[in-house]
């Protein structure tokens, strides 16, 4: 029943676990990780933008913390869009106990039919464990190079928090962050949404999402695709997402079993 793998774990003599032992082992490790059950994600491709960004963050930590000789445990995935992790992210990471990325819940194709000049994004922040305080939060969207525009043409990208969505009237918006971008620019645009994340955590009913508005140099509202902003049917490794950095504000004890 003993086997020795001819790979990186060759120094460890292994015994195949019986199914009962395996279940016990899984239960113990889940308890150590502080998880009530094994997560069952419906999408688990590691090549989407958010997992790739998170893996970059993971590798940033691992480089510092792991002892020599353990670096080969790091999974190497292709990074088509880089660098995703900014020096500011590294600073946030140093201070964080946990980082979480959130997928956009808005069906972008439906959104396209409904809103031509305003993009909507929604993120479910309700599954954050208790006792975690937000230290920083970012909304990230990819800006592609657009060949058909003049290189020196500029656009203004604005991110708004939706305050109210009254039926049969205009939505009430709060401007969070704004950025001027060149048509020739390419890379991730990062918007600070820390204050909004804190509001949403305290009052989940106020989480009505974010709106993105693109304006040309004449102040005319344009379709975000025109400015090269990727979402919806764009490549998976360039889809917008939200990332939140947390710090535990209390000592947590594992539950008694």
* DSSP 8-state assignment for residue 17: P
Tokens matching residue 176: 């969070």
Query: Closest Cα to residue 241, out of 199, 163, 188, 204?
Result: 188
Closer Cβ to other proteins, 100 or 137, answer by number: 100
Least distance in Å: CB of 200 to other proteins? 14
Binding other proteins by CB under 8 A: which of 2, 12, 130, 220?
12
Least distance in Å: CB of 99 to other proteins? 4
Closer Cβ to other proteins, 11 or 20, answer by number: 11
Contact between 237 and 49 under an 8 Å Cβ cutoff? The reply is yes
Q: Write out the binding residues for other proteins, residues 51-90 only, by CB under 8 A.
A: 51, 54-55, 57-58, 61-62, 65-67, 70, 73-75
Q: Does the protein bind other proteins through residue 2 (CB under 8 A)?
A: no
Helices (H), 158-235: 194-202
Q: What is the size of the binding site for other proteins (CB under 8 A)?
A: 44
Site string for other proteins, 21-50 (x = CB under 8 A): -x--xx--x--xx----xxxxxxx-x---x
Closer Cβ to other proteins, 124 or 165, answer by number: 124
Closer Cβ to other proteins, 181 or 242, answer by number: 242
Closer Cβ to other proteins, 127 or 257, answer by number: 127
Q: Write out the binding residues for other proteins, residues 96-135 only, by CB under 8 A.
A: 96-103, 124, 127
* Cα three-residue angle 10-11-12, rounded to 5 degrees: 90
Q: What is the DSSP string of 90-145?
A: HHHHHH-SEEEEEE--S-HHHHHHH-SSEEEE----TTPPTTEEEEEEEEEEEE--
CB-based burial of residue 242 (10 Å sphere; 0-12 exposed, 13-18 middle, 19+ buried)?
buried
Q: Could you tell me how many residues make up the chain? A: 257
Query: Closest Cα to residue 231, out of 140, 128, 170?
Result: 140
Where on the chain is the footprint of other proteins (CB under 8 A)? 9, 11-12, 14, 17, 22, 25-26, 29, 32-33, 38-44, 46, 50-51, 54-55, 57-58, 61-62, 65-67, 70, 73-75, 96-103, 124, 127
């Amino acid at each position: 029943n003993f086997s020795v793998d001819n790979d990186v774990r060759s120094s460890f003599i292994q015994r195949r676990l019986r199914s009962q032992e395996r279940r016990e082992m899984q239960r113990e490790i889940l308890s150590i990780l502080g998880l009530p059950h094994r997560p069952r994600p419906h999408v688990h491709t590691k090549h989407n933008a958010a997992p790739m960004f998170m893996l970059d963050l993971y590798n940033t930590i691992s480089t510092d913390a792991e002892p020599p000789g353990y670096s080969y445990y790091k999974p190497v995935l292709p990074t088509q869009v880089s660098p995703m992790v900014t020096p500011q992210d590294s600073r946030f990471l140093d201070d964080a106990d946990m980082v979480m990325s959130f997928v956009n819940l808005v069906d972008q194709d439906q959104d396209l039919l409904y809103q031509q000049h305003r993009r909507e994004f929604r993120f479910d922040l309700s599954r954050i464990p208790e006792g975690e305080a937000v230290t920083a939060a970012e909304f990230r969207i990819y800006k592609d190079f657009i060949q058909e525009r003049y290189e020196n043409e500029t656009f203004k990208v604005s991110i708004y928090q939706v305050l109210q969505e009254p039926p049969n009237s205009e939505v009430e918006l709060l401007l969070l962050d704004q950025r001027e971008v060149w048509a020739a620019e390419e890379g991730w645009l990062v918007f600070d949404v820390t204050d909004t994340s804190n509001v949403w955590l305290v009052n989940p009913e106020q989480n009505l999402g974010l709106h993105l508005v693109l304006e040309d140099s004449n102040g005319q509202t344009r379709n975000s695709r025109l400015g090269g902003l990727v979402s919806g049917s764009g490549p998976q490794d360039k889809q917008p997402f939200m990332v939140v950095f947390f710090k535990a504000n209390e000592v947590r004890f594992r539950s008694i079993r």
